[in-house]
Amino acid sequence: MTLQTENPSTPNDAGLTEINRQMLLILDFGSQYSELIARRIRETEVYSEVLSYRTTAEQLKQLNPKGIILSGGPSSVYDERAPHCDPAIWELGVPILGVCYGMQLMVQQLGGQVERAERGEYGKASLHIDDPTDLLTNVADGTTMWMSHGDSVTQMPEGFEVLAHTDNTPSAAIADHQRKLYGVQFHPEVVHSEGGQALIRNFVYHICKCQPTWTTEAFVEEAIREVRAKVGDKRVLLALSGGVDSSTLAFLLHQAIGDQLTCMFIDQGFMRKEEPERLVELFYQQFHIPVQYINARDRFLKIVEGVTDPEEKRKRIGHEFIRVFEEESKRLGPFDYLAQGTLYPDVIESADTNIDPKTGERVAVKIKSHHNVGGLPKDLQFKLVEPLRKLFKDEVRKVGRSVGLPEEIVRRHPFPGPGLAIRILGEVTEEKLDILRDADYIVREEIRNRGLYHDFWQAFAVLLPVRSVGVMGDQRTYAYPIVLRLVSSEDGMTADWSRAPYDLLEAISNRIVNEVAGVNRVVYDITSKPPGTIEWE
C-alpha cells in the first residue's frame, strides 16, 4: 500500500451521510496493514476510512469520528525523518488506539520513552493479560498475537498503565483509561492474532460506543439515492468487463436509473471460451440489461502481432482499448457521465483524478477499466459516477448479491484485463488463443464438476512459447506444453500454490493432452507469491 502524504481523502465525499455518522478513522503511517485495519472495523458493521498521517487535528474534528486508530509503520519514532501526527489529536477527546508504531508514537508524543529493544519480536507471541477489562474484555489470557517490532516502550507517559505483556515485551498493551487512549504493540488486525477481532470489537463498540450502521442494505439504499440525485435525467456509460466490480456496478446503476444506463462490452478476443456470449446472454435475456456488444477481435489481434514483450503487449492492448472506447462512446453518445468500478483500495493508492474548476466535480482522465492500463484522452470530459469507491472487494461481493447479481459472477475468479494475451507467453496468435481457450476450459470444467471451484483463488492454464517431444499413438509429436496454475490466497497480494488432489491434476492433464490439438505435455506450477507472481506475464 502506498503511504498518502498529501491531499488526504475526505471521508464524506461519497455523500453517505447516514451510514458515515458512526465512523472510525485510521491514520496511515505506511503500514502494509492499514487497509486491513479498515476492513476489520467494517466487519463489525461500522464505517472506517484510511487517511494520511498528515491529516490535521482540525480536519479530523470536522469529520467528527467516533474514534481514531494510528496504524503501524516501518519507521522508528526517534528517527529524524519519522512520520509524526499532529500532537493536537490527543486533545480531541475521542478514543484513540495506537497499533505498533502508532502506540510508540503515542508514547513518545505524550512524554514517554521508546528505545531500540534488546531483542526484537517478530511472529507469534503469547499475550499475558494483566487487566482483562475494557480493551481486552473476552480476550483469553495466553492468546496468540502477531508481533513485528524492533523498538519497545521503556517508559510510559503519565496516566498510562500496562494491560498486557509478552515474554519479550513488558508493555504489549497499555491504556490511559481516563483519556481513552490505548496502545498495542502487536497487530490485532492480522489473521494470525487469535484474539485480534475481539479486541477490535471492544474498541469499536465498548470504548467508541459505535452502532452497527454499515450494512449492505443501508449502503445500497444510500448509493441509489446518491446516483439519482447526481445524475438526474442524464445518460451514463459503463465499460462492462464481466468481472464482479463492473457487473455489480451495472446491476446497481440499472436499479437506480434504468434505461439511462448504457453498458458497453468490448470483446478484444482475449476472453475465455464462451465468456463473451454468456455475458451478453446473462445481462440481456435473464436480467433485461441491454449491453452494446463491440466485436473488436481482429483489431486487437493485429496490434499484438509479433509482440513478445509482456509490458509492450499490455501497453498496446490498453491503448487500443482506449481508441475503441473513444470511437464507440462517440457513436453511442452523447454521455454526461462515465461509471467506473473504482474500489476503496484504488482511492487510497491512486491520485489519477482531476477536479473540474467550474463544477468542483471529479473528471475522468484515466479509465479504471478491466484493462487497468491507459488513460482516456483529456478532451473526453466525462463526469465520474463511482458508487463503489468506498468498498473493499469483499464488500462489493456482498453488494452484488444484494442487487441480484448471479453467484457465478459474484464468485468469479479474478481475470486479468489483457486476458489470455498475457497467459500466452511470447507472441499471441489465433492458433495459440484457440489452444489456450480449450485447455483453460478443461481446467475450469474439471474443478467445477468436482465442486472445488471456490477452493481456489485462481485456477487457469498458461501456454509456453516452446515445444517438447512426445509420443502419441506410436507417433512422435512436437507440441506445446500447458502450465497449470492453481493458487490459494486471501486477497491476491500474496498467494501459495494449491495442494490440489492428484486425481484432479491427473484428470486435467489427461483431458488436455487427449482433447486439445497441439498440446502433448502438462506441468504444474508450484511457485508461491512471492517470489513468483500469480500471472506469468
Catalytic residues: 100, 187, 189
Answer for the pair 384, 340: CB distance below 8 angstroms, yes or no.
yes
Give the integer Cα–Cα distance in Å for 166 and 82. 26
Give the integer Cα–Cα distance in Å for 70 and 72. 7
Give the integer Cα–Cα distance in Å for 144 and 186. 10
Residues 6+ apart with CB under 8 A from 479: 467, 468, 470, 518, 519, 520, 521
Answer for the pair 431, 479: CB distance below 8 angstroms, yes or no.
no
Give the integer Cα–Cα distance in Å for 434 and 439. 9
* Phi, psi of 470, rounded to the nearest 5 degrees: -150, 175
Answer for the pair 250, 263: CB distance below 8 angstroms, yes or no.
yes
- The C-alpha cell that represents 440 in the structure block: 483453460
Q: Which residues of 183-198 are buried (b: 16+ CB within 10 A; e: fewer)?
A: bbbbbbbbeebbbbbb
Rg, Å, the chain Cα set: 26
Of 428, 534, 425, 531, which is closest to residue 482 (Cα–Cα)? 425
Of 231, 232, 249, which is closest to residue 240 (Cα–Cα)? 249
C-alpha separations of 519 from 206, 395, 458 in Å: 61, 40, 22
What sign for the dihedral angle of Cα 359, 365, 367, 372? negative
Give the integer Cα–Cα distance in Å for 492 and 392. 13
Residues 6+ apart with CB under 8 A from 282: 406, 409
Q: What's the distance, CA 416 to chain centroid?
A: 14
Maximum Cα–Cα distance for the chain, whole Å?
84
